[in-house]
């Protein structure tokens, strides 16, 4: 419809943007219906009512973490495993994907598998490529840094290193962390498994939630506008090339559903294995928590101490947490928020006053003290893709959680109301949830934390994750290992 001589400024939509927005709506409505299935349909139901599983593991549509694999028995064969990871956490505070890769493949190496990591040059100049001095298995991953700029991933250079090592002795299985290994190389590897830490279809929903935080008079940024125009072609492109990967590992139940139902990957090629964390590193330690509270300046009369950790950026939900906690402070002067992480929102948290303690970035060993010092962990993320390790670390430390009501979280992590609180990712819903937390008090939160610890110990340990991946890799090498138990 033509509009002549508008009296007020209007937003002009180009034909390309109009088409893009049409497809956003077209894809998003069925995607949201698909994603927001009741959480009890997969997780709670399986854990409490379903008969024990037996048969071909490739037919299992639930997380393999729920199965029992013995860590006291060494694997029947030692595998030679190639791993493509954009970064390897040496000499820096790693991101979630790097921490996952390090935890998983260090555990597999300890299980007597020969693990070779193909990754970008380290930012630490003293690190060297590890090598075997004799024919015995190494109990640590072998790190192969390709040449080039530190921290910059060049898959072609990593591929060359892989081919050299593969010629010496062929690999039994190849593992790619997301698209570290591009699909035009992956299609030639029938023994490959790729772990998806986020897929494009989930980012459609993420873009929606991020834009909903924009105030009515606030214009959409040009960069965000461009990202909206590019997201649907990216989804379509992914759906087409994902079939080139022989085996897909989804890190949440909801991601597994999307890979099967929307990306149309055959069921027997999609496997759900939830990420795990080091349960020796993240555990309940009340004395450590009390010491940390005193050290960072939390007063003794604090009624509730909330904690948040990670990158302090918009898509992690900090705009809504900042405003919600600002609302809470006015009527609850003894409630404190401890912020672990760095980013654009760090100074804004500091500006809220003494009820907010901003600590900056912390390494995993420091995070252990942080989790033990808080009463409840808050994750206000606006990103449905992936599954934050911080939620698992907090629960492993015996803390309840507050989290955005996303399918990946409610279907895999907060599968029971006893584990904490969920909220729609907006200021009003988060403020209401915060009020409920304050009303319950620290004693009740501690009770919830014990339930969280028990569940996390049954699902989110590094050994649970490593044993599940080990069985998958054995299954890829030889189909006889696909039968459970």
Check whether residue 67 and residue 162 sit in a common domain: yes
Cβ atoms of 430 and 320 within 8 Å: the answer is yes
Backbone φ and ψ for 217, nearest 5 degrees, come out as -90, -5
- Judge if 355 and 476 occupy the same domain: no
Q: What is the pLDDT of residue 2?
A: 43
Q: Which residue segment(s) compose the domain that 232 sits in?
A: 39-276+462-480
Looking at the structure, do residues 242 and 367 belong to the same domain, yes or no?
Answer: no
Q: List, for the chain, all residue ranges whose pLDDT scores fall below the cut of 50.
A: 1-50, 126-137
Question: What's this model's pTM, rounded to 2 decimal places?
Answer: 0.86
Residue that has been written with the tokens 């219906």 in this structure: 33
Same domain, yes or no: 142 and 266? yes
Per-residue pLDDT at 124: 63
Report DSSP state, residue 66.
G
CA–CA separation, 231 vs 213, rounded Å?
19
Kindly state whether residue 20 falls inside one of the protein's structural domains: no
Whole-number Å distance between alpha carbons of 213 and 220: 11
Whether residue 98 is found in the same domain as residue 113: yes
Instruction: Residue 419: give its domain's CATH number.
Output: 3.40.50.2000
pLDDT at residue 187, as a whole number: 96
Question: Is residue 58 in some structural domain?
Answer: yes
Report the domain count for the chain.
2
384 and 398 in a single domain? The answer is: yes
Distance (Å, rounded) from C-alpha 277 to C-alpha 291?
Answer: 23
Beta bridge partners of 350: none
Q: Report if residue 9 sits inside a domain.
A: no
Q: Are residues 467 and 446 in the same domain?
A: no
Check whether residue 470 and residue 442 sit in a common domain.
Answer: no
* 195 and 64 inside one domain: yes
DSSP 253-311: HHHHHHHHHTS---GGGEEE----B-TTTS---HHHHHHHHHHHT--TT-SEEEEEES-
- Residue 17, in any domain of the structure: no
- Same domain? For 203 and 291 the reply is no
In angstroms, rounded to a whole number, what is the distance separating the alpha carbons of residues 36 and 161? Answer: 43
Q: Is residue 398 part of a domain?
A: yes
Q: Is residue 151 situated within a structural domain?
A: yes
474 and 436 together in one domain: no
In this structure, is residue 237 part of a structural domain? Answer: yes
Buried b (16+ CB within 10 A) or exposed e, 35-71: beeebbebbeebbeeeeeeeeebbebebbbbbbebee
Has residue 281 been placed in a domain? no
How far, CA to CA in Å, does 485 sit from each of 43, 323, 464? 20, 50, 15
Residues 6+ apart with CB under 8 A from 42: 61, 62, 253, 411
Q: Are residues 296 and 188 in the same domain?
A: no
| pLDDT (0 to 100) of residue 271 | 98
């Amino acid at each position: 419809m033509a509009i002549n001589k508008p009296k007020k400024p209007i937003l002009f939509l180009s034909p390309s943007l109009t088409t893009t927005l049409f497809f956003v709506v077209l894809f998003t409505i069925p995607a949201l219906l698909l994603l927001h299935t009741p959480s009890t349909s997969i997780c709670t139901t399986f854990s409490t009512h379903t008969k024990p599983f037996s048969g071909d593991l490739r037919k299992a549509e639930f997380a393999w973490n729920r199965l029992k694999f013995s860590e006291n028995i060494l694997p029947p064969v030692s595998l030679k495993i190639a791993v493509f990871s954009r970064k390897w956490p040496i000499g820096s505070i790693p991101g979630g994907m790097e921490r996952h890769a390090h935890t998983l493949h260090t555990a597999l190496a300890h299980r007597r598998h020969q693990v070779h990591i193909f990754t970008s040059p380290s930012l630490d100049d003293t690190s060297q490529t590890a090598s075997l001095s004799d024919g015995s298995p190494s109990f640590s991953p072998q790190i192969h840094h390709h040449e080039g700029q530190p921290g910059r991933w060049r898959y072609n250079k990593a591929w060359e290193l892989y081919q050299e090592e593969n010629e010496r002795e062929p690999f039994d299985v190849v593992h790619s962390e997301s698209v570290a290994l591009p699909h035009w190389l992956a299609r030639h590897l029938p023994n490959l498994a790729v772990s998806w830490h986020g897929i494009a279809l989930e980012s459609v929903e993420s873009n929606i939630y991020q834009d909903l935080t924009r105030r009515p008079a606030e214009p959409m940024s040009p960069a965000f506008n461009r990202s909206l125009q590019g997201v649907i072609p990216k989804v379509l492109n992914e759906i087409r090339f994902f079939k080139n990967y022989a085996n897909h590992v989804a890190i949440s139940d909801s991601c597994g559903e999307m890979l099967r139902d929307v990306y149309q990957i055959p069921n027997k090629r999609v496997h759900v294995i939830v990420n795990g964390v080091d349960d020796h590193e993240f555990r309940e330690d009340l004395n450590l928590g009390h010491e940390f509270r005193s050290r960072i300046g939390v007063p003794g009369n604090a009624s509730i101490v909330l904690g948040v950790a990670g990158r302090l950026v918009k898509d992690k939900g900090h705009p809504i947490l900042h405003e919600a906690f600002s609302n809470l402070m006015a009527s609850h002067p003894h409630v404190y928020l401890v912020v672990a992480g760095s980013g654009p929102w760090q100074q804004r948290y500091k500006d809220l006053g003494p009820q907010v303690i901003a600590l900056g970035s912390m390494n995993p060993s420091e995070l252990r003290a942080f989790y033990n010092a808080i009463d409840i962990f808050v994750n206000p993320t606006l990103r449905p893709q992936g599954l934050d390790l911080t939620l698992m670390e907090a629960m492993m430390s015996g803390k309840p959680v507050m989290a955005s009501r996303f399918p990946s979280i409610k279907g895999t992590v907060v599968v029971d109301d006893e584990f904490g609180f969920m909220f729609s990712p907006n200021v009003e819903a988060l403020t209401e949830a915060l009020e409920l937390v304050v009303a319950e008090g620290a004693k009740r939160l501690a009770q919830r934390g014990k339930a969280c610890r028990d569940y996390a110990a049954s699902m989110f340990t590094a050994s649970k994750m490593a044993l599940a991946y080990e069985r998958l890799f054995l299954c890829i090498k030889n189909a006889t290992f696909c039968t459970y138990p």
